[in-house]
Structure 1
Amino acid sequence: MSGHVAAIFRHPVKGFTPEPLEAVQLAPGEGFPHDRVWAVENGPSGFDPAAPVFVPKQKFTVLAHIPKVAAARTRYDAETGVLHAAAPGAGEFAGRLAEASGREAFSAWLTLLLADDIRGPLRVVEAPGEHRFTDHALGQVSIVNLASVRDLGRRMGVELDPLRFRANLYVDGWPAWAENGWTGKRLMLGWAEAEVFKSIVRCAATHVDPTTAERDLDVTKALFDNYGHMLCGIYVRVASAGGVALGDAVTAPAAEPKPEAPQWA
């Protein structure tokens, strides 16, 4: 069963603007390139870059708790290392988050933008090495099946923006919800091989319209009401290195053959 890569996105700062890509190189044990390399603490998170471990998303400025995060339009220039940001009424920001001065300046800019929505001092933290601020410690690459999103949207009577689900790869051509049965299976992502780690349990971040920054739809309730679960998308771990580009085939696990009935003489 094959689909194709319809879109590729990275999210340099956790919770902020998805950035489209044409291609990406994936490798075992490495984070998705320039994805969730930074996060913004909403009060002390306990994250120690000298001994990085998984920190729950509740410790950061994320859409699940602060919809206005979507009002900040960010863009990362990987060649210069400069993050650009703009928002209505907040002016513009440009700075290098790899530098302490840039992280402090971005924290100050966000503090003015988010104002009363924050619960503690904001501080930008950087993921060392291959660590990433993903929603699951072992969620290396996230994939969303566009047919599943369309099916959910039809049942809700709306056109759902797939960007609500903040995936790295969006695949078209798979049957809706087929991915929920693939845990532990292998699949090809372009030229890279990966193993499906788990399905993604969705949260209130999907309730926020990525364009308007308004919490307008209860997506998690719709998932449960229509399917009896709150899953949409899968996490995979890369097993062998390779490139993935727009239009590349994404080959899903073949259905296991049914056992033949015994032949009686």
Structure 2
Amino acid sequence: MQVGALYRHPIKSHGRETIDEVRLTQGETMPWDRVWAVTHDATKFDANAPQWASCHNFMIGSRTPGLAGIWATLDETTRAITLTHQNLAPLTFRPDDSADTARFLEWVAPLSPAHRAAPTAIVAVPNRGMTDSDYPSISIMNSASHRAVADALGVEITKERWRGNIWLDDIPAWAEFDWIGRDVKIGDAVLRIREPIKRCPVTNTNPITGERDTAILDILNSVFGHQNFGVYAEVITSGDITLGTKAEVI
């Protein structure tokens, strides 16, 4: 098997970016993945003592489907991000700059339903990506499993719905669930597979339009007997990964 695609999501639930290479570090999340998160007016996240918090404290696609239509481009040197959405003008800003945060909040407001919690601020936790798991995880997806879901739906769907980090090609559908508790070597990096990823309604949302247009959760449950797609893994050995890098279960 080999790496078919790599993604990072600089701001949790607010855009994804394809990349060609990455260096994984033991005990850490994907570099620049979910570095920032957007709080809402009902959050319990304490910006004065920042630490990991569950996704319910942030603006997420399961409650705000329009966010799924955002793409992101990160400048690692300046820490500036450009966000694009088919219904909005592009925005370039620095999440660490309070003045820029105000511009971001104005930009994203049209995507936030009036009956839902409103975005209030951008926050970060030092040296910790704001993954949904309470440990620093990297998500691994299987391209064959994606095709199996699309075939069951009877329509084409894009991989961006799953918000994964590493996509692996040339393995049987659902083989990844047999790896729980085992290690996968991808290039020089070794990742320990921890658990399957239980999916939420955001997977029903079109990542271009930001509208819910499929019943992926229903298909997962009725056809495949579970609500999982992809697996969470921890990096136990640092290493470099590029597109096409070979992978194996060890």
> Which TM-score band (shorter chain)?
over 0.9
Tell me what 2:236 maps to. 239
Change (3 A) 1:71 1:167: closer
Shift of 1:92: 3.5
Q: Give the distance between the partners of 1:100 and 1:113, measured in 2 at CA.
A: 21
Partner secondary structure for residue 239 of structure 1? strand
Shift of 1:89: 5.4
Q: Give the distance between the partners of 1:92 and 1:156, measured in 2 at CA.
A: 33
Q: Which moved more, 1:201-210 or 1:117-126?
A: 117-126
Q: Give the distance between the partners of 2:229 and 2:86, measured in 1 at CA.
A: 31
Residues 42 and 118 in structure 1, CA contact (< 8 A), matched pair in contact too: no
Q: Aligned match of 2:43 in 39, 42, 45?
A: 45
Change (3 A) 1:63 1:158: same
Q: Which moved more, 1:187-196 or 1:62-71?
A: 62-71
Tell me what 1:182 maps to. 179
Q: How many residues align?
A: 250
Q: Which moved more, 1:72-81 or 1:168-177?
A: 72-81
Change (3 A) 1:137 1:249: same
User: Is 1:168 aligned to 2:171, yes or no?
Assistant: no
The amino acid that maps onto 1:164 is R
Unaligned runs of 5+ in 2: none
Q: Which has more radius of gyration?
A: 1
Q: Give the distance between the partners of 1:249 and 1:99, measured in 2 at CA.
A: 40
Q: Give the distance between the partners of 2:218 and 2:206, measured in 1 at CA.
A: 16
C-alpha RMSD of matched pairs (Å): 1.8
Q: Give the distance between the partners of 1:121 and 1:64, measured in 2 at CA.
A: 14
Partner secondary structure for residue 108 of structure 2? helix
CA distances 1:31-64 after superposition (whole Å, capped 9, x unpaired): 2101001111122422235544432223222211
CA distances 1:205-225 after superposition (whole Å, capped 9, x unpaired): 100011121100111111010
Residues 191 and 235 in structure 2, CA contact (< 8 A), matched pair in contact too: yes
Q: Aligned match of 1:107 in 102, 105, 109?
A: 105
Q: Aligned match of 2:214 in 213, 217, 223?
A: 217
Q: Which moved more, 1:50-59 or 1:198-207?
A: 50-59
Shift of 1:121: 4.5
Task: Please show how residues 1-265 of structure 1 align to structure 2 within 5 Å.
Answer: 3-49=1-47, 51-88=49-86, 90-114=88-112, 116=114, 118-129=116-127, 131-253=128-250
The amino acid that maps onto 2:157 is L
Residues 29 and 137 in structure 2, CA contact (< 8 A), matched pair in contact too: yes
Q: Give the distance between the partners of 1:87 and 1:20, measured in 2 at CA.
A: 16
Residues 40 and 120 in structure 2, CA contact (< 8 A), matched pair in contact too: yes
Shift of 1:115: 5.5
State the TM-score, normalized to the length of structure 2.
0.93
Shift of 1:149: 0.8
Shift of 1:116: 1.9
Shift of 1:73: 3.5
Partner secondary structure for residue 108 of structure 1? helix
The amino acid that maps onto 1:176 is A
Residues 194 and 238 in structure 1, CA contact (< 8 A), matched pair in contact too: yes
Change (3 A) 1:86 1:6: closer
The amino acid that maps onto 1:14 is K
Q: Give the distance between the partners of 2:203 and 2:87, measured in 1 at CA.
A: 25
CA distances 1:192-246 after superposition (whole Å, capped 9, x unpaired): 0111011110111100011121100111111010111111101110111100110
Residues 15 and 69 in structure 2, CA contact (< 8 A), matched pair in contact too: no
Q: Give the distance between the partners of 1:113 and 1:46, measured in 2 at CA.
A: 22
State the TM-score, normalized to the length of structure 1.
0.88
Q: Give the distance between the partners of 1:89 and 1:27, measured in 2 at CA.
A: 37
Partner secondary structure for residue 116 of structure 1? coil
Residues 29 and 136 in structure 2, CA contact (< 8 A), matched pair in contact too: no
Q: Give the distance between the partners of 2:71 and 2:180, measured in 1 at CA.
A: 34
Partner secondary structure for residue 100 of structure 2? helix
